[in-house]
Amino acid sequence: MAHFAKLDENNVVVFVTVGRDEDDGKEAELTARTGDVYKQTSYNTFGGVHLLGGTPFRKNYAGIGYTYDAARDAFIPPKPSDDAVLDEDTCQWIVLSLGGDSIGADSV
């Protein structure tokens, strides 16, 4: 199934929906049809790895509050703390106060 993230004017995810299989790869058509901005996201991608061995897509599955970074072509979770730094390879946050562990927003 295809999954799509609806973005606000700041590229922040406000909604994630499941599309039809035939919608796979058609984010431009969905955007044109609705007038909203949608980006496709992979349910099985986390930290730049496809959990089922497939091709990772946009670093992370989009969640509400994530930001789509067009330069990285990646979904980045919300920054969990002031001392967190972004791991450029995974687009996950490394929280220094937790000993440098890489975590996603869902881990906090």
Q: Which domain holds residue 56?
A: 3-78
In-domain check, residue 106: no
pLDDT tens digits, 47-103? 999 999 999 999 999 999 999 999 999 999 999 999 999 999 999 999 987 766 555
In-domain check, residue 69: yes
Number of domains in the chain: 1
In-domain check, residue 97: no
Looking at residue 100, the DSSP 8-state letter turns out to be S
pLDDT band at 108 (very low <50, low <70, confident <90, very high): very low
- Rounded Cα distance, 106 and 30, in Å: 27
- Rounded Cα distance, 88 and 56, in Å: 15
In-domain check, residue 102: no
In-domain check, residue 98: no
Greater confidence (96 vs 7) lies with: 7
Query: Of the segments 16-25, 37-46, 91-100, which one has the largest average pLDDT value?
Result: 37-46
pTM for the complete prediction?
A: 0.86
- Rounded Cα distance, 87 and 3, in Å: 24
In-domain check, residue 27: yes
In-domain check, residue 64: yes
In-domain check, residue 30: yes
The reported pLDDT for the residue numbered 24 is 78
